[in-house]
């Protein structure tokens, strides 16, 4: 057993890495253990959006929506390489009816029975006006109305849709967000341990003794940010008597070849009361999701079932003129949201807000983290530090709102200039490769290419413009250990490499170990 840490964090998803970064930046000594790769569960399986959650207004979750909306522009400024503004197109048809109920629809149906099963245009406009006003926008434009009969956004849709409302939210590269938070935490002194499962933790002499596959550690406070396994940690690792319960909700997505030419997202309303997004993805694809289904057990890997795939296809086919089939799906993925169990009747209605609970019975404090949205991860971390500060001495105050993540030290609109600068310094670099590098690494793309006078200086090309130079960066700076880490979390190049190329990459990386 080595030194005693101020806090020991279980879980290398966005909540765990966000808390570790914030704590390390305030001068606390931090260790973090993740049993797999960073972002290997929920945090790499999101819908990839920084958004307030327009539909949550129907559940009166105004505080959650306001906090998320306020965070969008804070986060945009901190990570303009991996996050960017996106316009969302919400088609409207006056004859649309919905079977599902929300608190708002029940209220309207009681007061105005003729509106039961409908979201009238005035309700949508009112919701969007509230959405625009809650966040205090400075960068993002507000809502506008589109005539789909003449606007290019109407071309991919069925002719019955003549009107749409367009509003703003943001895109985020979710798993890269986690890796950059972990890297920044490490550069501020945190010890980040991947593939290091926690097997047990117990209070001992006023501290926590944490047993892991890589040895034992001591800490003054334990943070349980294990995501889908937060309940397992409570029940089986620390053996707490907590009455708090986690509700696991699976969200699945499908990816198809690109369905339309423009760069905007569609927000589709379903007859069951749910919504899905159709989003431009990795230049050549469209991402469609997500579903909401209760998931029985965190030890069961989430997968997009044939039923969920068909549900998403049928949902999209009610809007797009081009009809999709299972043969159009090139990839699927699924993640489990670890929500605080608030007793909601359906998975869709369960709150997406975060809940932080501190236990002190028995001595050394334990902080359990439930739920949360990727958009509010930084605010969640600040809230966690408030609770940590009630038990440990924390000399520094909040600091992350104005601090860019690695590679993000440039203006929100600076990506084109970075790409042009990278190509000016390396004229042999293709536009597509330069854009991908800037979108992944920001100002640090130049560091990866430093000293290269031609493609040959970057080492072996594994396909998809993935070179040894980039791999060395990912291994040395971003904790990547396997081909899967690189192809499906640090990037999405798995969509472009063949099975043979991926196997060759895996062999090369295994050889380095």
Instruction: Give percent of the chain with pLDDT exceeding 90.
Output: 76
Tokens of 494: 């798995």
The whole-number average pLDDT for the span 276-291 is 96
Mean pLDDT of the chain: 92
- Residue 235's domain is classified under what CATH number? 3.50.50.60
Give yes or no: residues 240 and 263 share one domain. Answer: no
Q: Grade residue 62 by pLDDT with cuts at 50, 70 and 90.
A: confident
Residue numbers of the domain that contains 374:
4-43+175-244+351-402
pLDDT tops 70 at residue 230: yes
pLDDT tops 80 at residue 112: no
List, in order, residues 6 or more apart from 416 with CB less than 8 Å away.
none
pLDDT at 47: 95
pLDDT tops 70 at residue 99: no
User: How big is the CA angle at 457 (ends 416 and 477), to the nearest 5 degrees?
Assistant: 65
Neighbour count for residue 111 (Cβ, 10 Å): 8
pLDDT digits (tens, 9 = 90+) for 124-137: 888 889 888 887 78
Lowest mean pLDDT among 123-137, 181-195, 295-309, 357-371: 123-137
- Which position has the higher pLDDT, 119 or 109? 119
Tokens of 143: 């809502």
List, in order, residues 6 or more apart from 112 with CB less than 8 Å away.
none
pLDDT tops 80 at residue 116: no
Give yes or no: residues 396 and 483 share one domain. Answer: no
Looking at the domain assignment, is residue 53 inside a domain?
A: no
pLDDT at 123: 80
pLDDT at 32: 98
Give yes or no: residues 281 and 189 share one domain. Answer: no
pLDDT at 114: 42
Q: Grade residue 104 by pLDDT with cuts at 50, 70 and 90.
A: low
pLDDT tops 80 at residue 210: yes
Domain-terminating residue out of 340, 368, 385: 340
Task: For 466, list phi and psi in degrees, rounded to 5.
Answer: -85, 115
pLDDT tops 60 at residue 349: no
pLDDT at 233: 95
pLDDT at 204: 93
| Number of domains, the chain | 3
The whole-number average pLDDT for the span 324-332 is 98
Q: Cβ(287)–Cβ(279) under 8 Å?
A: yes
Tokens of 154: 């109407």
Looking at the domain assignment, is residue 408 inside a domain?
A: no
Give yes or no: residues 506 and 423 share one domain. Answer: yes
pLDDT at 111: 52
């Amino acid at each position: 057993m080595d030194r005693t840490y101020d806090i020991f964090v279980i879980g290398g998803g966005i909540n765990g890495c966000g808390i570790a970064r914030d704590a390390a930046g305030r001068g606390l000594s931090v260790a973090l253990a993740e049993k797999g790769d960073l972002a290997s569960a929920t945090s790499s399986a999101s819908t990839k959006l920084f958004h307030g959650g327009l539909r949550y207004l129907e559940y009166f979750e105004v505080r959650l929506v306001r906090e998320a909306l306020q965070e969008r522009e804070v986060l945009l400024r901190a990570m303009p390489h991996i996050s960017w503004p996106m316009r969302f197109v919400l088609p409207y048809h006056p004859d649309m009816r919905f079977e599902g109920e929300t608190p708002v629809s029940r209220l309207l149906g009681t007061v105005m029975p003729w509106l039961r099963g409908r979201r009238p245009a005035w309700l949508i406009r009112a919701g969007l006006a509230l959405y625009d006003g809650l966040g205090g926008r400075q960068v993002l434009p507000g809502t506008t109305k589109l005539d789909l009969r003449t606007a290019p956004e109407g071309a991919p849709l069925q002719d019955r849709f003549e009107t749409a409302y367009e509003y703003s939210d943001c895109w985020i590269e979710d798993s890269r967000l986690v890796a950059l938070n972990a890297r920044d935490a490490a550069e501020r002194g945190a010890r980040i341990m991947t593939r290091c499962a926690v097997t047990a933790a117990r209070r001992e002499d006023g501290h926590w003794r944490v047993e892991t596959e890589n040895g034992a550690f001591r800490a003054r406070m334990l943070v349980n940010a294990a995501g889908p396994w937060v309940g397992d940690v409570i029940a089986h690792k620390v053996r707490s008597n907590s009455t708090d319960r986690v509700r696991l909700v699976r969200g699945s997505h499908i990816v198809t070849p690109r369905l339309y030419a423009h760069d905007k997202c569609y927000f589709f309303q379903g007859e069951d009361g749910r919504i899905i997004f159709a989003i431009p993805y990795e230049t050549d694809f469209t991402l469609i999701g997500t579903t909401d289904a209760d998931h029985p057990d965190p030890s069961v890997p989430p997968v997009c079932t044939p039923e969920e795939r068909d549900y998403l296809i049928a949902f999209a086919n009610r809007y797009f003129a081009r009809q999709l089939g299972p043969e159009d799906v090139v990839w699927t993925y699924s993640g489990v949201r670890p929500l605080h169990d608030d007793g909601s009747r359906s998975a869709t209605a369960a709150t997406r807000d975060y809940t932080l609970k501190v236990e002190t019975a028995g001595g050394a404090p334990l902080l359990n983290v439930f739920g949360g949205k990727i958009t509010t991860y930084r605010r969640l971390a600040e809230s966690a530090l408030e609770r940590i500060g009630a038990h440990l001495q924390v000399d520094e105050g909040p600091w992350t709102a104005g601090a860019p993540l690695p590679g993000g030290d440039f203006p929100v609109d600076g990506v084109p200039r970075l790409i042009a600068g990278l190509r000016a310094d390396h004229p042999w670099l293709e536009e597509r490769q330069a854009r991908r590098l800037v979108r992944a690494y920001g100002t640090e793309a130049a560091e990866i290419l430093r000293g290269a006078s031609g493609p040959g200086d970057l080492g072996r090309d594994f396909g998809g413009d993935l070179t040894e130079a980039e791999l060395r960066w990912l291994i040395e700076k971003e904790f990547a250990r396997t081909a899967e880490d690189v192809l499906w979390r640090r990037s999405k190049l798995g969509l472009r490499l063949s099975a043979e190329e991926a196997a060759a990459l895996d062999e090369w990386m295994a050889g380095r170990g």
